[in-house]
Structure 1
């Protein structure tokens, strides 16, 4: 049996969808900044790799996500453009993975705020 939704229910769904899209755009902007910083700063890469490994070992990251993040990190030094394209890919899987990013503490709070404020003004 097909379920029918009330106009109020459809508005809530639409608002939730718009809210999710807005959050995904902010996350994407932050990931671009973090990825560019990781490309420029080799010293930050090990902490990301350790986060990936730790989350996988502790069951906080599924095998598919582990493979995606691990493979992307292998591209960073030799093929940074492939790394960047992968991190910023507009797929359902990458949108989901970016929401639980291993790129924690790559940006300082000041860099994070600057990135978000700059993206709002564009």
Structure 2
């Protein structure tokens, strides 16, 4: 009897490809996006800035059409349904974790605000903080 290794397709189980480090990074990115979403809702004029960044990323080929549509749809509902916008941005499913890594919310927060968001998230008080700066 010979031992044959199975190919990936024959494995009866799925191997999780994320590490603890990936999870930590995703949680920091989420904290920053919570702060950015709050700031955008507090200052609706920032929506146009984010849309411009989104359009530029799409034109440069740095964002796929599906990602573009997701972000555009979220930005489009922000003025009329801020809760749906916020919940959409902070959704913690596999797709949104991937989309947040190529975000159109560039330059929305200052470096101090970014650090504050990460610190507040670590202490569990980010949800209570108001980013109307």
Please, what TM-score do these two structures have when normalized by structure 1?
Answer: 0.86
Match of 1:23 in 2: 25
Q: Which residue of 2 aligns with 1:8?
A: none
1:7 alignment partner in structure 2: none
Q: Deviations over 1:63-97 (max 9, x none)?
A: 00010000000010000001011111111111001
Matched residue, 2:6 = 2
* Deviation of 1:59 (Å): 0.8
Q: Deviations over 1:31-59 (max 9, x none)?
A: 00100100010121111000111111111
- Secondary structure of the residue aligned to 2:79 is coil
Which structure features the higher share of helix residues?
A: 1
Unaligned stretches of 5+ residues in structure 2: 8-15, 125-133
Correspondence for 1:70 among 69, 72, 87: 72
1:40-59 to 2 correspondence within 5 Å? 40-59=42-61
Residue of structure 2 aligned with 1:85, choices 54, 71, 87 = 87
May I ask how many residue pairs the two structures share in their alignment? Answer: 112
RMSD value over aligned CA atoms?
A: 1.6
Question: What corresponds to 1:103 in structure 2?
Answer: 105
Deviation, structure 1 residue 117: 1.5
Question: SS in structure 2 opposite 1:86?
Answer: helix
